[in-house]
Amino acid sequence: MNAVRGVFLCFLAAAVFAFPARAAEYTFRVAFIGPESHGQFISLNEKFKADVEKKTDGRVAVEIYPNAQLGSDRQAIEGVSIGTLEMSASGGSALLPLDDRLKIMDLPFLFKSSEAAHQAYDQFLTEEFNKILEPHDLIILYAAELGFRHITNNRRSIQEPGDLKGLKIRTMENPLHVESFKLLGSNPTPVAFSELYTALQQGTVDAQENPISVISTGKFYEVQKYLSLTGHIYSPTVLLVNKTYWESLPEDIRSILNGILKETQAFERDVLIKQNIAAVDELRGKGVQVNDLTPEEKQVFFERCKPVYDAYVEKYGDSLLKRISALK
């Protein structure tokens, strides 16, 4: 009996190796600059990757590369644009150098809530941005939550624009951010994100601004004393794909993917919002002094930043701004 059983097992093993698992027909490599602990990676890994590979019966494989393994946001976006990389999960601000019309997404105090931002992106902004990105062979598959940007520093709580006077604040290499913080009275200093922790630690800059999730996963609480919930800019995260590549995919696969993308967008927004809320409590627990701002206090900051709105409207008109205002 044992001999028969052994022969049967050998036959079964041979059969398994004779018919290997189905190899993927398509592989989506997704670049992401953040760590595995960030809500964006969690969403891509637990929802997007898991659902894509399951619902396409293995025809599509998803490989996610966190921790800037495939380069900075700008490098990843360039790779997707020229077709050497399939996808990039990037902060929306990283798209601004491609076309000045995209600056609208980084106008300060444009949105008063995440819900208002979601409505705008879902109803028309993503569609409008994809028209602008067409010459770059890029498509935004979805815009999800990265969160409102807030200020941390080592000197004082920020409650009014005067509290920013003299602060050397790290900003992105983004002319709109630089101009906005100049109007608020600070000394904006662009620093690469990879160098930011060290710059704060060594006192090269006094302050920085980022979404809560980035402040937390970047461990800036180790080198910053104050967190002011200014909410000065809403930052979306976008999943980008090469347009030519996307349109080359079979229609049945794209149909499956479209459903998964909508679900992933909702999943990611939920994860990031919850992660941001939990991170504020965590930062308090780490000894960071946290202060909030009232709507009236934020309005004072907005008034100081109006020249950047005037400059945008002068060049591109106010039609999109009116549509956004109508949602509030």
CB atoms within 10 A of CB 317: 10
**Ramachandran category for residue 102: left, alpha or beta (phi over 0 → left; psi -120 to 50 → alpha):** alpha
CA distances (Å), origin 234, targets 8, 116, 118 = 63, 10, 10
- How far CA 102 is from CA of 93, 132, 146, 230, in Å, comes to 9, 8, 17, 22
pLDDT in tens, the chain (328 residues): 444 445 444 444 444 444 445 689 999 999 999 899 999 999 999 999 999 999 999 999 999 999 999 999 999 999 999 999 999 999 999 999 999 999 999 999 999 999 999 999 999 999 999 999 999 999 999 999 999 999 999 999 999 999 999 999 999 888 899 999 999 999 999 998 889 999 999 999 999 999 998 899 899 999 999 999 999 999 999 999 999 999 999 999 999 999 999 999 999 999 999 999 999 999 999 999 999 999 999 999 999 999 999 999 999 999 999 999 998 6
- From the list 218, 244, 229, the residue with the least C-alpha distance to 292 is 229
Under DSSP, is residue 255 helix (H, G, I), strand (E, B) or coil? Answer: helix
Among 22, 301, 255, 41, which Cα is nearest to 160's?
A: 301
Q: Which helix (H) or strand (E) holds 63?
A: strand 60-65
Distance CA 145, CA 237 (A): 6
CATH 3.40.190.170 fits 22-327, yes or no: yes
Place of tokens 């005067």: 162
